[in-house]
C-alpha cells in the first residue's frame, strides 16, 4: 500500500502562486505516494482525519510551516516534513536548501533524504526559524497580504520604518546556562536558523547544533542603535549588539512586550525559550 502524503498549501502565499502550482506540485509528489491536497485553514486542524500521513509537505512561508508544525506536535505526531517555499521570505526552506521553484522543490522532496533538525520552543509554542520581540519584530504580523503580494520584501521595510515611531526600550532580566544579567534593549532575536526576512543576521547559527544564537540590540540613542545594527549587518563587531549562544534562555520583564514566532503572534512574558535538538525530521535535497 502506497504511503500517504499530506500536501498542505497556503493559497494566499506568493501572490497566489502556491494555489496556481498546487496541482503541478501534487503530481510530482504522487511519484512517492498517495497525495491528499489540502488548502490551509488557520482556524482548523489540518491533521483531522489525516494523522496517519507518513509525510507532510507544506507550501507556504515560515508562518504556514510554523502553524503546521505546532498542530503536528500538539497531536504527538512526527511525520517526515517537506517544505516548498512560496511565501515572502521562506527563511526555513532556504536553510534546508530548497529550490525557489515549487515544482523543482517538489522533485527535491521526492528524491531527497531525511535529516534531523532542531526546532525552537517558547512557552511550549514551536518556532522553526526565529522568535523575536521589540523593534521591527512584529512587522510581519502588521504587513498585509495585499502589500506583501504587491511589494514582496519591500513591504516589510516600509512597515518597519513606520514601527520606528513606536521605538522604546524593553528592560530585561535574562538567565542562561552561563549566568544571569540585566539589560535594556530595543530588539531581541533568537535564531534557530540564520536569516530573518531574507537577511542573514545570525552567522553562527545552525539548525543542527542544538543551540540558539540570540542577538540583543542595546537601547542607546537613535543614531547609535542604527549604527550598531548596520555594523552587525556588515559583519562587524559592535558593543551595541549582545550575542548569546545557549540551548535555554529565561527572560522576564516588567513590560508584557508583544512577541513573534516565525511571523505569527507569539506568547506573553515571562519567557522560557528552549532548543529542541533534532526535534523535526525533514526532507532535504540529496547532495550530489
Strand partners, 187: 134, 217
What is the separation, in whole angstroms, between the first and last Cα of the chain? 30
Q: Per 3-state DSSP, what percentage of the chain is helix, strand, and coil (rounded to 5)? A: 30, 35, 35
Contact (CB, 8 A) for 133 and 269: no
| pLDDT tens-digit series, residues 118-156 | 999 999 999 999 999 987 665 555 555 565 555 555 555
Find how far residue 184's CA is from the centre of its chain: 25
- Which three cell numbers mark 236? 562587524
| Cell output for 124 | 511550549
Nearest to 113 by CA among 168, 174, 32: 32
- Cis omega (within 30 of 0) for bond into 227: no
* pTM to 2 decimal places: 0.87
Reported as a single tens digit per residue, the pLDDT across 189-247 is 999 988 887 777 888 889 999 999 999 999 887 678 777 877 776 677 788 899 999 99
Q: What is the pLDDT of residues 10-23, one digit of tens each?
A: 988 766 667 788 99
Amino acid at each position: 500500500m502506497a504511503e500517504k502524503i499530506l500536501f498542505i498549501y497556503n493559497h494566499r502565499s506568493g501572490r497566489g502562486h502556491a494555489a496556481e502550482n498546487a496541482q503541478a506540485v501534487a503530481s510530482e509528489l504522487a511519484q512517492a505516494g498517495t497525495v491528499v491536497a489540502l488548502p490551509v485553514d488557520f482556524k482548523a486542524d489540518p491533521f483531522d482525519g489525516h494523522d496517519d500521513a507518513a509525510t507532510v509537505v507544506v507550501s507556504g512561508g515560515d508562518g504556514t510551516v510554523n502553524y503546521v508544525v505546532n498542530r503536528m506536535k500538539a497531536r504527538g505526531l512526527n511525520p517526515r516534513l517537506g517544505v516548498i517555499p512560496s511565501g515572502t521570505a521562506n527563511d526555513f526552506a532556504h536553510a534546508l536548501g530548497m529550490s525557489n521553484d515549487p515544482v523543482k522543490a517538489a522533485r527535491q522532496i521526492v528524491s531527497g533524504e531525511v535529516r534531523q533538525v532542531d526546532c525552537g520552543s517558547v512557552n511550549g509554542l514551536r518556532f522553526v526559524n526565529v522568535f523575536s520581540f521589540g523593534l521591527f519584530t512584529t512587522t510581519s504580523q502588521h504587513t498585509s497580504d495585499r502589500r506583501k503580494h504587491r511589494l514582496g520584501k519591500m513591504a516589510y521595510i516600509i512597515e518597519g520604518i513606520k514601527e520606528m515611531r513606536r521605538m522604546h526600550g524593553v528592560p530585561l532580566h535574562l538567565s542562561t546556562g552561563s549566568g544571569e544579567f540585566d539589560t535594556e534593549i530595543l530588539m531581541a532575536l533568537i535564531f534557530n536558523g540564520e536569516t530573518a526576512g531574507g537577511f542573514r543576521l545570525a552567522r553562527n547559527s545552525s539548525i543542527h547544533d542544538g543551540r540558539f544564537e540570540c542577538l540583543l540590540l542595546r537601547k542607546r540613542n537613535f543614531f547609535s542603535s542604527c549604527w550598531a545594527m548596520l555594523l552587525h549587518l556588515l559583519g562587524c563587531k559592535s558593543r551595541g549588539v549582545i550575542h548569546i549562544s545557549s540551548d535555554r534562555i529565561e527572560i522576564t520583564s516588567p513590560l508584557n512586550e508583544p512577541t513573534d514566532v516565525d511571523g505569527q503572534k507569539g506568547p506573553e512574558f515571562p519567557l522560557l525559550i528552549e532548543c529542541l535538538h533534532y526535534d523535526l525530521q525533514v526532507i532535504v535535497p540529496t547532495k550530489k
